Amino acid sequence: MAATASQIRPGAYYDSVVLMQLQRGLLTLPGVLDAGAVMATPVNLELLEASGLRPVSGAGADDLLIVVKAENKESAEGALGQIDALMTRRRASGEVDFRPKSLDAAAHRLPEAAWVLVSVPGRFAGGVARDALHLGKNVFLYSDNVSLEDEVELKREAQGRGLLVMGPDCGTAIVGGVGFGFANRTRRGSIGLVAASGTGLQTVASAIHHLGSGISQAIGTGGRDLHGEIGAASARQALDVLRRDPETSVIVLISKPPEPEVAARVAAAARRTGKPVVLNLIGLPGGGRSLGNLHFASGLQEAAEIAVELASSPAIPADAPPPVRGMARYLRALFSGGTLAYEAVLGLQIALHPLHTNVPLHESQRMQDPLHSTGHAILDLGADQFTVGRLHPMIDNDLRLRRLRQEAADPETAVILLDVVLGEGSHPDPAAELAPAVAEALERSDLKVLVCVIGTDLDPQGMEGQIEKFRASGARVFTGLREALDEIARLLPPEAEPWPTPVSLEAFRTPAAINVGLESFYESLVAQGAATLHVDWRPPAGGDERLMAILARMKSPSGS
């Protein structure tokens, strides 16, 4: 009759790879029907129960629990008696690897290591990562279940030290041609990746390889990096690394859905790299369009294709108009076409911040007072609040003429954008009224006016004549909104937010590393020829929270 036997090892810690191999080893023993070797967390206990391996009581989350189900009691207990032998790991030569007992000892033995890979349980990971930063090491933090507070603190400290924290929950990176974590092996090349998505990074890197190009560096940030509390800390550092890296000519930025304000901040940093940057930010517009040096992709494969095309055919930069200076730094867009206003919000939200509008795509963009512009403003003057008791602005220019003068009188207005929609039923000669007002506004030397004329050569207003009148007024004229938005991006550079303290490029040229946690990561580094050491890590104070707190206080400079 089948029997189950269990063993609890209080406060024991073993690499999860070792536990997986232990479980597989137990299953090979005579009479063993099933086995489980896990840390006794509530979830793991439930999984054991669901698998028919009823766990014993008395095991805590910090305890190792081994459960064996066998054909009889003797086989079950005999299997438990072989646990230590099964967990002994040796190389084929029979020699045990040298494994320092602490991160500090490993750093002294391998001083050239610029990286520490951390994959210990989440409750301990922050402490290990902090120790690595104190030793002057960059951190690849694979561990999940690290608190948001710890992530904020770790990244703040890393920036202050000119170091980089990839993660937490960072699954993959490629540093100097060496893969960290779950990286794919790709050829070297000139495309650098920044990703708040591990599988996204792998997908794009693999696609770039299949398309015949290669990767310079691939930097993971952890999935929460573009959340509001983190503020794209690691992404901005990674963009700074790649903008300074002479081996990188094109950058790809990948993210799970970012918070809009953070997306705008990281896009501003991307614009300031001076290199082509392909953006695949899930939930934000894409589909093969561009805005200045930003190129938008609607999916991972498209991101790879655009990057390879840019890397193989470097674009000759166009002569950019002189950017606006002084107080004047904001866009004021005055639309008569509601859909055009929406399109402008969609196209510019990633490039301009703060952006306010009466046709918001999300609540943070909503204009508090549509009668007075603040920051970058995009107005649909054909919206209900403006057309009560008056004709639509496609017919009557009065409201736009008043607002044009109001915006031109604001010293913070740098660029005014107007749409002029021709066709049946529209104003018979809009340029006759709007062009003189544009010329008057342009008496301000620091102001630019862009006019987007929508129509055909068959329209009754005479499209070519309308365009000539606006050009004569001094306005820049476009026949498509996309070109106008691209001009706005060139005229309005991002706010000059200082780059973080630079991370040394040397860390990306000779990627020696210390591994703390998953042994498979260490074995991968060895297989790739990287200089590496694996720390024989154990939880401090056996995982006892009270003793851990005492040790932490003893290690702090103040001792308090």
pLDDT confidence of residue 416: 98
Q: Which pair of tokens denotes residue 309? A: 């095309």
Which pLDDT band, with edges at 50, 70 and 90, does 145 fall under? confident
Helix axes 430-441, 463-473, angle to 10 degrees: 20
Q: Which pair of tokens denotes residue 362? A: 């999300």
Give the start-to-end residue ranges of the domains of the chain: 3-87, 330-491
Phi-psi region of 112 (alpha: psi -120 to 50; beta: other; left: phi over 0): alpha
- Residue 281 sits at φ, ψ, to 5 deg, of -100, 105
pLDDT confidence of residue 87: 74
Instruction: Name the residue with higher pLDDT: 362 or 344.
Output: 344
Domains 3-87 and 330-491 share a fold: no
pLDDT confidence of residue 322: 54
Q: Which CATH superfamily is domain 330-491 in?
A: Succinyl-CoA synthetase domains (3.40.50.261)
Residue 377 is given by DSSP the state: E
What does each C-alpha distance from 76 to 21, 83, 86, 117, 312 come to in angstroms? 18, 12, 15, 37, 62
Strand runs (DSSP E) across 344-464, as ranges? 355-357, 376-380, 413-421, 448-454
pLDDT confidence of residue 325: 55
In angstroms, how far is the first alpha carbon of the chain from the final one? 59
- In this structure, are residues 454 and 422 in contact, taking their beta carbons and an 8 Å threshold? yes
pLDDT (average), residues 463-468:
96
CA pair distance 194, 353, nearest whole angstrom: 22
pLDDT at 397 over 70: yes
pLDDT confidence of residue 548: 53
- Residue 224 sits at φ, ψ, to 5 deg, of -95, 5
- In this structure, are residues 415 and 442 in contact, taking their beta carbons and an 8 Å threshold? no
User: What are the tens digits of pLDDT across the range 151-204?
Assistant: 999 999 999 999 999 999 999 999 999 999 999 999 999 999 999 999 999 999
Name the CATH code of domain 3-87 (choices 3.30.70, 2.40.160, 1.10.3470, 3.20.14).
3.30.70
Amino acid at 485: L
CA pair distance 267, 273, nearest whole angstrom: 10
Q: Is 428 helix (H, G, I), strand (E, B) or coil?
A: coil
CA pair distance 151, 141, nearest whole angstrom: 10
CA dihedral (134, 139, 142, 145) positive or negative: positive
Which pLDDT band, with edges at 50, 70 and 90, does 91 fall under? very low
- In this structure, are residues 30 and 511 in contact, taking their beta carbons and an 8 Å threshold? no
Q: Which pair of tokens denotes residue 298? A: 């609607």
User: What are the tens digits of pLDDT across the range 417-427?
Assistant: 999 999 999 99
